[in-house]
Structure 1
């Protein structure tokens, strides 16, 4: 049987190289490429023709979720496993909505990673046990909640910053995230709260007692 072709995207070189070394020791897999950013991945991943892309969530520049969205817009249907430290609800929901086949935390044991990759290659969708309950909570809230009740913890932090009049770059600096990630959170806020701009989002949040 041909090895399963993998492509690794992570901005931390030490982790990326260690992961590639680990995967190279697993006979079922062949690492066919790597990238240190979403932008780099978008330039070269199609040519590498992997079966699975292992994609970090929090990266400088465009985030992992935004990278996945861009891949789908370009028509790249390769299966994607998000491999991350983030348990942020917006990251999790964003990844699933964008079409990720799995969401695995970086603290997973090598055996769990090995099994997850085989499952993803076989067409299954896989979630880390730590985030599975979050998915069910989101689904339960979505059935009964008002849009503003769907706001995640990170989105609420962004909303509070907006209420203080901070700019996108200032919010990014305060929360230690990229400006693109801030813009993504704001877009999600506007959609969830069914408003058209930041001022309306802040006003609605104040009215609802969110901030």
Structure 2
């Protein structure tokens, strides 16, 4: 049987390399690469066959959500598994909505990781039991909450860009802002929603009816 070909995407080089080395030693697995950015992952996916990508959603300046969307749109047979330190149901819900089929903690044992990687190729999914109730509650909460009305026009534009999977640099270019201004608007909208991270903010926005590439911000005049 052909080995399961895995791509590791994590912005912590030591963790990514260590995981890649360990996986490569397991029978039935082949590591295609270990990269730290969305751009590097997309380049590798374009040139190599990958069965499963192991992705940390928090990639520093990048968003793992962008990579999930890219994989879902371009590689329908590719399975995306999240490997994260977060235990937020909001984060899990966002990942699931963007195409992730399983979620694993970075503290998961090796046997569980291998079982999940094998299982996703049989169309199985895995969510840690302790996160499942919160995930289901988040996914079934009614949309249309007035919470987005708390945001200013600029904050709503930034939030739409986050929902679209854009990085801070991309948002700054689109909205003619500096990256520092984008960060300020992001921090302000996190406090208003409330959310603890950009990933949670995206989940809140999706529950409230905002959709990727729905009414995304057009190029606006500079502030």
When normalised by structure 2's length, the TM-score is 0.67
Q: Which residue of 1 aligns with 2:145?
A: 148
Aligned to 2:36: 36
What per-residue deviation string (whole Å, max 9, x for no partner) do you get for residues 172-199 of structure 1? Answer: 5787xxxxx84x766655554458799x
TM-aligned CA distance change 1:193 to 1:129, over 3 Å: closer
Residue 167 (structure 2) pairs with residue 168 (structure 1): no
Conserved 8 A contact 1:65-1:91: no
Give the Å deviation of 1:38: 1.2
Equivalents in 1 of 2:4, 2:182: separation in Å?
41
The whole-number CA distance in structure 1 between the counterparts of 2:216 and 2:42 is 30
SS of alignment partner, residue 69 of structure 2: helix
What SS does structure 2 have at the residue aligned with 1:126? coil
Once residues 135 and 169 of structure 1 are traced to their aligned partners in structure 2, the CA distance between those partners, rounded to angstroms, is 27
* Structure 2 runs not aligned, ≥5 long: 157-179, 191-196, 218-223
Displacement of 1:171 in angstroms is: 4.5
Compare the two structures and name the one with the higher helix fraction: 1
Give the structure 2 partner of residue 82 of structure 1.
Answer: 82
Aligned length: 179
Displacement, 1:110?
0.9
- SS at 1:169 equivalent: helix
Alignment partner, residue 61 of structure 1? 61
Q: Distance in 2 between matches of 1:197 and 1:31?
A: 37
TM-score, structure 1 length as denominator?
Answer: 0.71
Is the Cα–Cα contact under 8 Å of residues 94 and 202 in structure 2 kept in the other structure? no
- Residue by residue over 1:87-108, the C-alpha shift from the partner in whole angstroms, topping out at 9 and shown as x without a partner, is 2333211211111111111110
Q: Which position in structure 1 is the counterpart of 2:168?
A: none
Q: Following the alignment from structure 1 to structure 2, what is the Cα–Cα distance between the partners of residues 7 and 197?
A: 31
Q: Distance in 1 between matches of 2:127 and 2:102?
A: 5
- Indicate whether 1:8 and 2:22 are aligned: no
* C-alpha contact 1:52 1:79 (8 A) present in aligned 2: yes
| TM superposition shift of 1:81 | 0.6
More displaced stretch, 89-98 vs 2-11 = 89-98
SS of 1:26 mapped into structure 2: coil
State the shift of 1:48 in Å: 1.8
CA contact (8 A) 1:6 1:52 kept: yes
